[in-house]
Amino acid sequence: MINKERMTAKLEGDFVLFLIGMRINDFWKIHRWIPVITAMGRMLKELYSNPDLGLLHHEMGFGRTFIIVQYWRSLDQLMDYAKSKDSEHLPAWKDFNNVISKDGSVGIWHETYAVTDGNYENIYSNMPHFGMGKAGILERVHGKRESARGRLGGV
């Protein structure tokens, strides 16, 4: 459902914004990039099946470069998941490094941002619930929160 009001989202406390993705460098080597896509699907299924692992929400964008925007409750939870011998991540990471990364057909990347409480801003207009609006709480924009600077606490 499209919300026609101007909305902003709040997420209580510190959190982590994690961007991860892959780039198809050789489209014809489908046998190289399909395993990367399916591994991410398994990881997301695992994370949503176990909310205590810390993933709050994700959004995806597709093209030659795939991007997944993830909201995590804490940096520790993200790092614990990445290093866990019991998770889907570690075997997928090892497979990529041992098999796929050597020929350059698929690139992978990630960026991690540790966000402290209140040091972010966002706006949603004519949008369904999306991004931080799904990870946190949406509210109508009003008062000093009408501007980006106001949503950032006036900095």
Average the pLDDT over 50-57 and give the result.
98
Closest CA to 92 of 77, 78, 108: 108
1, part of any domain: no
pLDDT above 80: residue 155 = no
Domain extent, residue 110, equals: 15-115
pLDDT above 80: residue 138 = yes
pLDDT above 80: residue 58 = yes
8 A C-beta contact, residue 110 and residue 78: no
Per residue in 81-103, pLDDT (tens digit) is 999 999 999 999 998 888 888 89
6, part of any domain: no
Q: What is the CATH number of the domain that holds 59?
A: 3.30.70.100
8 A C-beta contact, residue 105 and residue 133: no
| Angle ∠(85,90,94) on CA atoms, nearest 5 | 130
- Classify residue 25 by its DSSP letter: S
pLDDT above 90: residue 153 = no
Separation in Å, CA 14 to CA 22, 37, 112, 135: 27, 29, 13, 13
